[in-house]
């Protein structure tokens, strides 16, 4: 909590679940950004196991896990959410978001601005693929009624978190 509330720096926190299938990929991208900005004294990139760590009572609701939030130096009680559904969880997208939301200028010599732009061939490839209809998504399989105890416990925790979040939103209104 002390790291997040450090008013001298912007703090990016990635909340993860170790059992998440994409965690290894997300961690790799997160580490690329952390290495690229490690010389920035006003920025801290960190991660926390959102399942095994208890959230302090004065900590804002983070929503679903995995998720990434920035706690800006100049606005700690109004964190910013990184929407990874737009463009995916890549080092380049994460860095663009950090630069846009940070209280202090961010330099990332390890990830240049040109690396964040798609190569010219990618634009042509994108145009070619957008004329095709989107792939048909297969329906999700129905959950097995014989859930494991840990899965059932996780479901209960997520329901409780969602209920708390709804109550907090009602209180804000």
Predicted pLDDT at 137: 52
Q: Considering the chain, what is the average pLDDT of its residues? A: 75
- pLDDT-wise least confident of 32-41, 61-70, 110-119, 141-150: 110-119
Task: Return the beta strands (E) in 54-145 as ranges.
Answer: 67-71, 80-82
CA distance 124 to 155: 43
For residues 43 and 134, which has the higher predicted lDDT (pLDDT)? Answer: 43
The mean per-residue pLDDT over the stretch 117-124 comes to: 43
Q: 10-120 maps to which CATH number?
A: 3.40.30.10
Neighbours of 173 (CB within 10 A): 4
Q: Is the pLDDT of residue 128 over 90?
A: no
Band (92; pLDDT cuts 50, 70, 90): very high
Give the pLDDT score at 1. Answer: 61
Q: Is the pLDDT of residue 142 over 60?
A: no
**The dihedral formed by the CA atoms of 21, 162, 164 and 172, expressed in degrees to the nearest 10:** 110
3-class SS at 131?
coil
- Asked if 34 and 112 touch (Cβ cutoff 8 Å), the reply is no
């Amino acid at each position: 909590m002390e790291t997040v509330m450090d008013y001298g720096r912007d703090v990016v926190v990635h909340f993860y679940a170790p059992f998440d299938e994409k965690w290894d990929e997300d961690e790799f991208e997160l580490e690329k950004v952390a290495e690229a900005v490690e010389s920035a004294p006003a920025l801290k990139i960190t991660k926390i196991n959102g399942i095994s760590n208890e959230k302090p009572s004065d900590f804002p609701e983070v929503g679903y896990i995995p998720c990434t939030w920035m706690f800006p130096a100049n606005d700690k009680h109004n964190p910013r959410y990184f929407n990874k559904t737009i463009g995916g969880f890549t080092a380049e997208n994460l860095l663009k978001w950090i630069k846009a939301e940070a209280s202090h200028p961010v330099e990332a010599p390890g990830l240049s601005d040109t690396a964040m732009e798609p190569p010219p061939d990618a634009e042509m490839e994108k145009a070619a693929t957008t004329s095709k209809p989107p792939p048909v998504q297969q329906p999700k399989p129905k959950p097995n009624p014989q859930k494991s105890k840990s899965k059932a416990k996780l479901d209960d925790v997520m329901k409780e978190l969602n209920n708390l979040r709804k109550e907090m939103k009602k209180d804000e209104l």
